[in-house]
Amino acid sequence: MKKFIVSLSPHVHSTDSVQRNMYGVCIALIPALLASLVFFGLGALIVLLASVIACVFFEWAIAKYILKMQRTTVCDGSAVLTGLLLGFNLPSNLPLWIIVIGALVAIGVGKMTFGGLGCNPFNPALVGRVFLLVSFPVQMTTWPVSGQLTAYTDAATAATPLAVMKEAIKAGDPSVLDKLPDAVSMLVGQTGGCLGEVSALALVIGLIYMLCRRIITWHIPVSILATVFVLSGVFHLSNPIYASPDAVLMSGGLMLGACFMATDYVTSPMTPKGQVIYGVSIGLITVIIRTFGAYPEGMSFAILIMNAFTPLINNYCKPKTFGEVTKK
């Protein structure tokens, strides 16, 4: 007689997969990738390639030779994604060896030490970036001016909008803010900065794509952006030395962080309520660091801080169970 398979229900599956989600995010990053190539040319290409290749290599090598895992998670796209995001968070003139160190820290320390995919408490790409930021502050904060398509390490550098904002606050002089580029060029990406963060428009396109394909839900990005907008608006109205909220939204890594870094599955809370709390907190911390802190940018720190709170949020933000209302 024929042997049937027996298993418990459900017997069908949605065919959704880890790969589909990870590569979906990668596809969502394509507009930003194109934008970075348009603005930084060769430099962007070298940095991104180096970052992705290094991340994938470290993931494979650590899984195979150190952890001796049965099957590696290289093919599921999570390492490619980490590599892309790490690259997006770096200036386009960063020397290769620094990038490789960043990738090693991101994958090795940020992800694999905790047991690989799904186990890491912190966003690996951000662990890599913050490690580089505190280890190589000079290289990490000299951003080339966009438009130098063939220059790599010899690219001319300039102050970013964030540095201008910080300067205005330090000087207490609102006229410093006139040095900021106009809104249109900030939206499209005619400013200095890390690779992936220059074009807010490209990032928003990616966000819309992810929302449409239901890779992520709106809770985290919207709550971060709304919080930042409201809070910086309050500051701006109270004192004109603080930049206007639209400039704050479009400058620095805020868009990239809100759309792609904070929404990382593994390190963000599970329930919608928790996700909103997480998003609002990230927005608050970012604005506070940007306004009162020593660093011009606070997005990566804000996300990492809230990553640490994720288990706590998960523990306390329970979804409302069916029928709970009538229990009272």
Partner 1 sequence: MKTFRLGGVHPSENKLSAASPIKQAELPKQAVFSTYQHIGAPAKPVVAKGDVVKVGTLLAEADGFVSAPVYSSVSGKVAKVDAIVDASGYRRPAIFVDVEGDEWDESIDRSQTLVKLSDRPDLTPQEIVAKIKAAGVVGMGGATFPCHVKLSPPPGTKAEYVIINAVECEPYLTADHRLMLEKPDEILVGVALIMKAVGVTKGFIGIENNKPDAIRLMTEKAAAYPEIEIVPLQVKYPQGGEKQLIQAVIGREVPAPPAIPIHVGAVVQNVGTAFAIYEAVMKNKPLVERVITVTGKSLQSPTNFLARIGTPMSTLIDACGGLPEDTGKVIGGGPMMGKALLNLDVPVCKGSSGLLIMNEKEARRGEEQPCIRCAKCVGACPMGLEPYLLATTSAFRNWEKAEQNNIVSCIECGSCQFTCPSNRQLLDNIRVGKSTVMGLIRARNAKK
Partner 2 sequence: MNLILIAVIVLGIVGLVAAAVLYAASKKFAVYEDPRISQVAEVLPQANCGGCGYPGCSGFAGACVKAADNGSLEGYLCPVGGQAVMERVASILGMSVSASAPKVAVVRCNGTCENRPRIASFDGVRSCRVALMTGTGETACAFGCLGCGDCVNVCQFGAIRINPETGIAEVDEELCTACGACVKTCPRKIIELRPKGPKGRRMVVKCVNRDKGAVANKVCKASCIGCGKCVKTCPFEAITLSSNLAYIDPEKCKLCRKCEEACPKNAIQAVNFPPRKPKPAPETAAPAGRPQAETQTVSEAPRPAQTEGKENA
Please identify which residue in the block is written with the tokens 């892309």.
84
Is 116 or 298 the residue whose CB approaches partner 1 more closely?
Answer: 116
The residue from 164, 187, 270, 279 that contacts partner 1 (CB under 8 A) is 270
Q: How buried is residue 72: exposed, middle or buried, by Cβ count under 10 Å (0-12/13-18/19+)? A: middle
Residue numbers 89-148 binding partner 1 by CB under 8 A: 116-119
Using CB under 8 A as the binding rule, whether residue 60 contacts partner 1 is answered as no
23-54 burial, b if ≥16 CB within 10 A, otherwise e?
bbbbebbebbbebbbbbbbebbbbbbebbbeb
143 forms beta bridges with: 158
State the nearest-atom distance from the C-beta of 156 to partner 1, in Å.
41
Instruction: Based on the shown chain and the rule CB under 8 A, indicate whether residue 68 belongs to the binding site for partner 1.
Output: no
Contact residues for partner 2, defined by CB under 8 A: 1, 3-8
Site for partner 1 in 189-218 (CB under 8 A): 217
By the rule CB under 8 A, 238 interacts with partner 1: no
Binding mask 217-236 for partner 1 (x = CB under 8 A): x-------------------
> C-beta of 247: minimal distance to partner 1 in Å?
33
Three-state DSSP string of 99-147: HHHHHHHHHHHCCHHHCCCCCCCCCHHHHHHHHHHHHCHHHHCCEECCC
Rounded Cα gap, residues 11 and 327, in angstroms: 34
Structure tokens at 276: 């909103």
Evaluate whether 88 touches 95 at the Cβ level (below 8 Å). no
Residue 18 contact, options partner 1, partner 2, none, Cβ 5-8 Å cut-off depending on partner type: partner 1
Position 139, amino acid? Q
Cα 260–Cα 205–Cα 88 angle in degrees, nearest 5 = 40
Does position 7 interact with partner 1 (CB under 8 A)? The reply is: yes
Nearest approach, Cβ of residue 311 and partner 1 (Å): 11
- Binding-site residue total for partner 1 (CB under 8 A)? 45
Residue (117 or 302) nearer to partner 1, CB: 117
Nearest distance from C-beta of residue 103 to partner 1, angstroms: 20
Residue 239 binds which entry of partner 1, partner 2, none, CB below 5-8 Å type-dependent: none
CB of 252 closer than 8 Å to CB of 129:
no
Q: How far is the CB of 299 from partner 1 (least distance, A)?
A: 21
Q: Where does this chain bind partner 1 (CB under 8 A)?
A: 1-2, 4-14, 16-18, 20-21, 73, 76, 78, 116-119, 217, 265-272, 275, 318-327
